[in-house]
Every structure is written in C-alpha cells, then in structure tokens.
C-alpha cells in the first residue's frame, strides 16, 4: 500500500528583532508588569549589599527576560527571573530548589501573595515595604486588584525590544573607561539605562519623584553624570522612546545639535528624545541608536567640560 508523503513541517515564523510597541496596544499589560517587576526588584533591594547610586537594586536583561542576578540570603544565593518566552517567573536557589509562577492575567495582589508564598517555601525571608515607588498612585501590592492584565505576545515583544536595546547600549558603554553603570533595568521607572560619570561631585538633587524619598535621588545623582536609556512611554510621552540627559544640566544643552534625524530636545522633560519607532524603522537601527547615544553624550560632556581624553576608551583591535 502506498502512503502519502509526509508534509514538511512549516518553517518557524521569522522573529521581528525590533518589534512594534505602540503604547496604546499594551498599556494595561505594561502597568501590571511594572508592579510585578517592582515586587521582584524590592526583593533585591531588601537583601543585596548597598552599592553607589543604588546599583544593587536593578534587574538585567537575560536570554529569556529580566533577572535579578544572584541575591545573597545567608550562606545561600537565589535568583528571580521573568521568563517572557515560557511566560513563567522562576525562583531558583544555589542549593538546587526551584519554584515557578505562571505569568498570566492575574491581579498584582494575587501575584504578590503567590510570590511571597514561593519565597517562604524556599526558606527565603524577605522584609520589604510592600508599596510601589515612583508612581503617582501607590496602591499597596496586597490591595491592588485593578492591575490584572497580561498579554503574553505584548510582553514578549517588549522583551525582544529590550534584547536589542541592551545589546546596542552595551556596545556604547564599552567606549567609556571612566566610572560607568552597567546597562540595567530600573524597576521604579520601568526603564533600561546606562549612566556615565565625570568623576566630579554634583549639587544635591532636588528630588521630587512621586512616592519616592528624596534621599533616593540624592544618592542616585551624587556625582555629575550623563545618562541615556529607553522606556515604553508614559510620564509625558505617548510612545516608547529613547532618552538622554545630564545632571546637572549644562547651560544651552537643549540647543545642541544631535543625531539622528527625528531626535529632539523635550523642553518640559528637559531630556533629549528619540522615538523608538524611528529606530525600529531605520535602515540600520543599531547605527541610528548609537548615533543618538554618542551625539547626546558628546553635547553633555563638551558643554560640561569633562576630561574626555581621560574618560574615553581609544579604539583598539582585539583578538580572541
């Protein structure tokens, strides 16, 4: 008997490396994820040893999402990771134990309760202030039943965008040999950022972030800096965008010529802005983003009189 030939499996759909992220299509999921990342971020804040500029508290882009990296707990360590490919939250300890939570539509209160129970089941004692920061309306996590959205496709598109942005920003970071932050994800404001420092002290920051003590900003901006990053929108922006600013801001910074076409100085935010869509649709997204990062840094460093010869890395050929 003849049998029909087997059909070849369909090829996998191509991955959009720089996916579209219009805020209006996923803002409910974004708002929920913001609260979930704050809960996990506060875990690291509670246990990780202090570092300058709060560098002990951010998350990092991983191969499948966002991770805390190892957090100390007594003689053990543990790691919490959002996996936006499998849509799980994983808590793993250095002695081999693991717990998972499904990333699905659920309230912040439900997520918080199950997450705390997972920590307790792993004998991880975490004392945190269970209220979000840097948001105008700060509902305690255990009471927040309004934020309960999770669009798996949108969360994964955000992750894929972060993968590309993290990769390009790390290339930019490598050009600097002075004091510089890692490329890291600040859960308070839900942004991926990298900050360079001149080495000089800065005037005390005025603070004023919503539901955030002023001492947080005092530490974050204790030294003169030029910072750049990306966030999905909100806070005066109706779309995802890259930003860059300097603290303290040099005189006439807003009048500086920057690249690429489409970048501009936002007079209200007092930041340079480049819409994410302009990078995503550019002929060479890497080049477009690097030109923004470099030109805004050039403007800030030149106007503030940084010692650029001492701070910047000369191009060198490297062989493995």
pLDDT at 10 over 90: no
Give the residue-averaged pLDDT of 169-195: 98
Least trusted range by pLDDT, from 143-147, 183-187, 236-240, 261-265: 236-240
pLDDT tens track for 34-45: 999 999 999 999
pLDDT at 235: 78
**C-alpha–C-alpha distance, residues 306 and 286, integer Å:** 26
pLDDT at 165: 98
**Is residue 141 exposed (0-12), middle (13-18) or buried (19+ Cβ within 10 Å)?**
buried
pLDDT tens track for 116-175: 999 999 999 999 999 999 999 999 999 999 999 999 999 999 999 999 999 999 999 999
pLDDT at 314: 83
pLDDT at 228 over 80: yes
pLDDT at 118: 98
What is the value of pTM for the model shown? 0.94
Helix intervals (H) in 193-307: 214-220, 276-280, 285-304
- Would you kindly state where each structural domain of the chain is located, as residue ranges? 23-143, 152-311
pLDDT at 2 over 60: no
Q: How confident is the model at residue 4 (pLDDT cuts 50, 70, 90)?
A: low
pLDDT tens track for 246-260: 999 999 999 999 999
pLDDT tens track for 52-86: 999 999 999 999 999 999 999 999 999 999 999 99
Reduced to 3 states (helix: H, G, I; strand: E, B; else coil), residue 40 is helix
Give the residue-averaged pLDDT of 203-225: 97
């Amino acid at each position: 008997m003849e049998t029909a030939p087997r059909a070849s499996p369909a090829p996998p759909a191509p991955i959009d490396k720089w996916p579209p992220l219009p805020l209006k299509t996923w803002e409910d999921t974004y708002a929920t994820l913001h609260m979930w990342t704050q809960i996990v971020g506060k875990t690291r804040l509670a246990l990780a040893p202090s570092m300058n500029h709060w560098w002990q508290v951010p998350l990092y882009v991983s191969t499948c999402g966002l991770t805390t990296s190892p957090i100390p707990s007594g003689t053990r360590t543990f790691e919490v990771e959002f996996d936006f490919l499998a849509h799980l939250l994983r808590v793993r300890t250095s002695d081999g134990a693991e717990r998972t939570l499904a990333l699905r539509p659920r309230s912040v209160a439900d997520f918080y309760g199950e997450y705390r129970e997972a920590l307790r089941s792993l004998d991880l004692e975490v004392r945190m202030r269970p209220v979000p920061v840097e948001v105008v309306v700060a509902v305690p996590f255990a009471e927040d039943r309004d934020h309960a959205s999770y669009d798996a496709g949108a969360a994964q598109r955000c992750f894929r965008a972060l993968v590309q942005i993290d990769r390009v920003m790390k290339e930019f970071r490598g050009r600097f040999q002075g004091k510089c932050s890692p490329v890291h994800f600040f859960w308070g404001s839900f942004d991926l950022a990298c900050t360079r420092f001149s080495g000089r002290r800065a005037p005390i920051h005025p603070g004023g972030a919503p539901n955030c003590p002023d001492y947080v900003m005092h530490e974050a901006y204790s030294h003169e800096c030029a910072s750049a990053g990306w966030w999905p929108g909100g806070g005066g922006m109706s779309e995802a965008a890259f930003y860059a600013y300097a603290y303290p801001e040099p005189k006439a910074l807003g009048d500086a010529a920057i690249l690429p076409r489409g970048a501009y100085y936002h007079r209200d935010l007092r930041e340079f802005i480049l819409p994410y869509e302009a990078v995503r649709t550019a002929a060479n997204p890497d080049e477009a983003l690097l030109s923004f990062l470099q030109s805004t840094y050039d403007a800030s460093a030149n106007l503030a009189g940084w010692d650029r010869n001492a701070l910047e890395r000369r191009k060198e050929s490297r062989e493995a």
